[in-house]
Amino acid sequence: MVLPGPADEGPYPTVVEYSGYQPSDPDSAQFAEIYTTLGFAYVGVNMRGTGCSGGSFRYFETVQGLDGYDAIEAIAAQPWVRDGRVGMVGISYPGISQLFVAATRPPSLAAITPLSVIADVYRSTLYPGGILNTGFAVPWGESRGEEAEPFGQEWTRERADAGDEQCAENQNLRLQNPDQLAEIEAAAYYVPATGDPLAPATFVDRIEVPVFLAGAWQDEQTGGHFATMLDRFTASPAVYVTLANGVHTEALSPPVFERYVEFLQLYVAGEVPDLTAANVVAPLLAGFAFGVDSVPAFANRFEGRSFDEALAEFEGEARVRVLLEQGGSRDDVPGAPVPNQVLPLEAWPVPGAEVTSWYLAADGRLVADAPDERSSDDYVADPDAIAATTYDGGSSEIWRADATYDWPALADGTGVGFATEPFDRTTLIAGSGSLDVWIAADADDTDLEVTISEIRPDGEEVYVQSGWLRASHRTLDERASTELRPVHTHLEADASPLPAGELTPVRVELFPFVHAFREGSRLRVTIDAPGGSRPVWAFDETVSDGETVTVAHGGATPSRLVLAVLADVEVTAPAPACGSLRAQPCRTWVPAANGG
């Protein structure tokens, strides 16, 4: 617990960070300093089985949410807490934990601010498309297990050696911890009884407090799937969402941080927002997280307003904002965490978005109408043909404005591509997507990676988004699926091998995104074995192993790409420089063997 001033000068508006990292380590208070500088008391709480807390550890088991309920109520009862109500803060793990705790409805919880979160452990990050994510999810799970071992976090040993007997005694319970890696490996198929309680999308409708949520489409850790649950916060009186291209820390970028501080001051502190202190914190945060020297100053736009006036104005603004082309601002260095444009939206999914299909055709073309004649293309599903990931630097260096990527082109014959003709007008695509494709293989299963990109008039290609599917997991939850978003059951009972020598329809879910394809650019979609499209995610246990995959199109097998197009949205011209968009690497377009 860290107060912004003496206890007798309180009470103070208070925020709580709750996770299995080290929020309660008294010697690791950098994150706490953000909030105390803003005038908030900060309380860090380690989940059971982590840090110096008691109990054993299992990833987001039900009792952790209930513990969070108790922690909120105990903290809110302290004399230094203003109005007996607290908010929750945190990014990633402590961001996700807020969803679990808020769903238990602690009476003294004022608001939550989940940043860089997931919608579903299985579908979002661990097994996207039914394929184990060995690049991030598995190592992260292993780390959680290791740190939950007796004295698995070094600071706990230091506490015990300094005389903290309770901390030392609590380590003995860690011998009861289940094996995190074994539980991951046992979860290859979705089991609703265990999967639903770990999927925030199934319970965020129970959250009854205001929510401020932010995340990035290309998040290298948690991914962009979180946006699929944004329409499920049906019980919250106010949900504010900021969406952007970028990395895991995009949720702390200056244009998000500005509104985030205003939200905390309005809904937790009950004060008219004053961003004077935020203008002290933001440059320091930007330097640490993004490696930039300066950021635009925030204006105190509510100065001179009453609280009710400020709240009414805040609540009257767009509930969903898209930071379009983050990194492409003309007023900042390329890659700086500032957008080229801010798009206010009514909701997500975007009302009125036009469901648009482009059909796969011969010679690697994407066309508006389904071809009359069937044709096909083959590729060899070789996961070792190109590098597994697009980034080989440190985990925090990737957040910097000057991060560099190496996005490899498809190796000859190991994938197929399809591209439109150049657009005759700027086309803004916003939402989830689906590749509905007819395939066959000379093996009983194959893993598909589908990638969307933009081919610019000068021949440069910009990464946009990806999706994955293990073909044997192709069975759909028909009630949950839409034209834009296939939802697979991933049930073991529904798993089915590919029929030998028979073309089979599959739908691959593309994670949500927003991207502007300007006049003269082309939309491209590629299909290959998993790997080589993401900076950290890798799929070392893919079933793809050199099988030949046939992709059919036209005639009785009308394969198509389905995306959501927003009409009548003015996009700033010209496009930002290639390579400046955050987490959207650029390369020279090399046509696939089939021409696209």
Q: What is the pTM of this model?
A: 0.97
Report whether 375 contacts 362 (CB < 8 A).
yes
Nearest to 589 by CA among 392, 457, 425, 421: 457
Whether 29 has a pLDDT exceeding 90, the answer reads no
Residues 338-353, mean pLDDT to the nearest whole number: 96
CA separation (Å) from 551 to 370, 449, 528, 558, 560?
15, 13, 11, 11, 11
Report whether 210 contacts 311 (CB < 8 A).
no
State the Rg of the chain over Cα.
24
Residues 295-319, mean pLDDT to the nearest whole number: 96
Whether 479 has a pLDDT exceeding 90, the answer reads yes
Q: Is 149 exposed, middle or buried (0-12, 13-18, 19+ CB in 10 A)?
A: middle
- Cis peptide bond upstream of 237, omega within 30: no
CA separation (Å) from 582 to 55, 506, 547?
41, 31, 35
pLDDT at residue 352, as a whole number: 92
For 211, the token pair is: 């929510």
pLDDT at residue 295, as a whole number: 86
Residues 279-299, mean pLDDT to the nearest whole number: 92
Report whether 75 contacts 81 (CB < 8 A).
yes
Residues paired with residue 377 on neighbouring β-strands, in sequence order: 551
pLDDT at residue 239, as a whole number: 98
Q: Is 279 exposed, middle or buried (0-12, 13-18, 19+ CB in 10 A)?
A: middle
Residues 448-470, mean pLDDT to the nearest whole number: 98
Residues 430-459, mean pLDDT to the nearest whole number: 98
Q: Which residues contact 462 (CB under 8 A, 6 or more apart)?
A: 453, 454, 456, 578, 581, 584, 585, 586
Whether 30 has a pLDDT exceeding 90, the answer reads no
DSSP-derived pairing of the beta strands 560-566 and 41-46: unpaired
pLDDT at residue 416, as a whole number: 98
Residue identified by tokens 């107060």 is 3
Residue type, 182: A
Q: Where is 549: in which H helix or E strand? A: strand 548-553
Residue type, 418: F
485 band by pLDDT with thresholds 50, 70 and 90: very high
Whether 320 has a pLDDT exceeding 90, the answer reads yes
Strand, coil or helix: what is 351?
A: coil
Whether 189 has a pLDDT exceeding 90, the answer reads yes
Sign of torsion over alpha carbons 388, 365, 413, 529: positive
pLDDT digits (tens, 9 = 90+) for 520-575: 999 999 999 999 999 999 999 999 999 999 999 999 999 999 999 999 899 998 99
Whether 102 has a pLDDT exceeding 90, the answer reads yes
CA separation (Å) from 139 to 128, 221, 286, 382, 427?
16, 11, 27, 24, 38
Sign of torsion over alpha carbons 402, 406, 407, 409: positive
pLDDT digits (tens, 9 = 90+) for 387-429: 999 999 988 999 999 999 999 999 999 999 999 999 999 999 9
Phi then psi dihedrals of residue 496, to 5 deg: -150, 130
Query: Whole-angstrom Cα distance, residue 77 to residue 334?
Result: 47
pLDDT at residue 27, as a whole number: 87
pLDDT digits (tens, 9 = 90+) for 194-217: 999 999 999 999 999 999 999 999
Whether 164 has a pLDDT exceeding 90, the answer reads yes
All domains of the chain, ordered by start, with CATH?
A: 354-588 (2.60.120.260)
Q: Is 176 exposed, middle or buried (0-12, 13-18, 19+ CB in 10 A)?
A: exposed
Residue identified by tokens 């003995």 is 172
Indicate the range of 25-34, 80-89, 228-237, 435-444 predicted with least confidence: 25-34
Query: Whole-angstrom Cα distance, residue 84 to residue 423?
Result: 56
Residues 75-85, mean pLDDT to the nearest whole number: 97
Q: Which residues contact 270 (CB under 8 A, 6 or more apart)?
A: 13, 82, 83, 307
188 band by pLDDT with thresholds 50, 70 and 90: very high
236 band by pLDDT with thresholds 50, 70 and 90: very high
pLDDT at residue 475, as a whole number: 98
Query: Whole-angstrom Cα distance, residue 102 to residue 89?
Result: 12
Whether 362 has a pLDDT exceeding 90, the answer reads yes
